Amino acid sequence: MKICAATGNPGKLKELRRILEAQGHQVLSQKELGLDLDPEETGTTFAENAAIKAAAFAAASGLPTVADDSGLCVEALDGAPGVYSARYCGHHGDDEANNDKLLEAMRDVPAGKRGAKFVSAVCFRMPDGRTLTCMGECPGQVAFDRQPGDYGFGYDPLFIPDERGTADGGKRPNTEGDSYAQLTPDEKDAISHRGRALEALEARLEAFLQEK
């Protein structure tokens, strides 16, 4: 199936394309479709924002569309930055400033109290308006400082997932304490919030498409 990826974020586009193509779909970016959209995310939940983006891109592209809205929810910060993850620092899309603000907010939070989870809402929307939304979560901890690697974007250098993927497609405890950014794409996709949401979408998509 040809699918429009409803994002202008290069890191997110790379993950959506990688996971959806592994499921057998052809993924087209807004650049490839000649679109230039940045719909205002006025929702108060991940699911609401994903639906807003999916609706705008499906209408513009005329294609089945996948939109993801996701963020980091930190226990010690009462769930912040949450739906405001991309603009936590006060403006949109500045990964370094967002990470700096998170580190400052967590400066006095001790080990054992730094629990967090990444949450993803994936909305699949058909041009006729039918929608299917799936959620995914990945629990972990906020690191005391950046742990950069060869992969990842956003808060990935600060997030230590509880699990990591294995070569056989399974999962195991992340005993090394590597960050999202230090995991290979396969290791991350197997346990990530976005990977889990898209896995749930794959499981439900055929039945959804057959519905009238």
Would you please indicate which residues are annotated as catalytic (active-site) residues? 69
Amino acid in the structure at residue 156: D
What per-residue string of b and e applies to 143-175 under the rule 16 or more CB within 10 Å gives b?
Answer: beebbeeebbebbbbbbbbebbbeeeeeeeebe
Give the burial string for 47-62 (b: 16+ CB within 10 Å, else e).
bbbbbbbbbbbbebbe
Is residue 153 within 8 Å of 11, Cβ to Cβ?
Answer: yes
Tell me how crowded residue 210 is: count the other CB atoms within 10 A of its CB.
7
Three-state SS letters, 56-102: HHHHHHCCCEEEEEEEEEEHHHCCCEHHHHHHCCCCCCCHHHHHHHH
